[in-house]
Amino acid sequence: MSLLVVSEVSKRFGGLQAVSNVSFSMEKGEIVGLIGPNGAGKTTLFNLIAGTIALDKGTVSFNDRPITGLSSHIICRSGIARTFQVTRPFASMTCAENVLVSLIGRNEPVSLSEREGIIRENLSFVGLAGKENALAEDLNLIDKKRLELARALATAPGMILLDEVLGGLSSLEMNQALDLIRSIRDNLKITILWIEHVMGAVMRLCEKILVLDQGELICEGSPELVSKDPRVIKAYLGEADARD
């Protein structure tokens, strides 16, 4: 049984077809990359899965249960968390308070006695141990991304949608982020669907890659298969390079 099944999903905004008949499935424990040129429909697809915007057509199921049409907070409680390309912490709140807010996204309620331990555990896991009382607005970029991940993890998800977590990071910070992503899958057993433009990182970490172009899924497969597909080369490099 696949963990996530997306079937013939479509979304139009005015006269623009943002996502067109996209179908794919993911198995538990996978790290799957979602790539494509700017404007390909990647974030729209995330929003459709997460319930932020409504589908025009198609279905989405998670853990063998339909989630099509459910509100985003219900989908979160069903086990799908997400991060954002632009980090969105509550700037004037501490790291601990940011994670505390995320506990409302859990399917099972958390008692007062459990909260502090869960908050510390998640902050420590992402590398923010000792920064529980630091204000989110005072964090540097990588620590804001760590906090974004801690907030997602605090909802106790079975799957996380990661949106360009490597953007703006140095080479050292990218390697640290990749180690963290791998640890989320290996140690926490959380499945990951990951939008990313840093192709070397995607090829290194993902078992499978989905390629969107102009709202359509043009290729799906292993990093090796995707990197050699003429449609993918054309979408990124243009026709002249694809012919060479």
* HEC secondary structure over 15-55: CEEEEEEEEEEECCCCEEEEECCCCCCHHHHHHHHHCCCCC
Is 140 within the bounds of a domain? yes
Does 238 score more than 70 pLDDT?
A: no
Rounded Cα–Cα distance for residues 83 and 11 (Å) = 21
With contact defined as beta carbons under 8 Å apart, do 24 and 53 qualify?
Answer: no
Beta strand 31-35 pairing with 208-213: parallel
Residues 63 and 170 in one domain: yes
Query: Does residue 163 share a domain with residue 143?
Result: no
Per-residue pLDDT of 75-117, as tens digits, reads 999 999 999 989 989 999 999 999 999 999 898 888 888 999 9
52 shares its domain with 25: yes
Residue 242: pLDDT over 50:
no
Q: Give the CATH number for residue 45.
A: 3.40.50.300
Distance in Å from the first CA to the final CA of the chain: 41
In the numeric block, which tokens belong to residue 13? 């905004």
Structural domain harbouring 57: 4-79+158-243
pLDDT at 72 over 60: yes
Q: Residue 113 has what pLDDT?
A: 86
Question: How deeply is 171 buried, as exposed, middle or buried, from its count of CB atoms within 10 A (0-12, 13-18, 19+)?
Answer: exposed
Please give the mean pLDDT across all residues of the chain.
93
Query: 133 and 235 share a domain?
Result: no
130 CB neighbour count, 10 Å cutoff: 11
**Structural domain includes residue 85:** no
The per-residue pLDDT for 119 is 97
Rounded-to-integer distance, Cα 221 and Cα 211, Å: 9
Rounded Cα distance between 2 and 209, Å, is 16
Q: What is the pLDDT of residue 110?
A: 85
- More confidently predicted of 6 and 87: 6
3-27 average pLDDT score = 96
- Nearby residues of 101 by Cβ (< 8 Å), 6 or more positions away: 90, 93, 151
- Domain tally for the chain? 2
The answer as to whether 84 is a domain residue is no
Percentage of the chain surpassing pLDDT 90? 84
In this structure, are 52 and 172 located in the same domain?
A: yes
Q: Which among 127, 156, 185 is the end of a domain?
A: 156
Same-domain status, 33 and 99: no
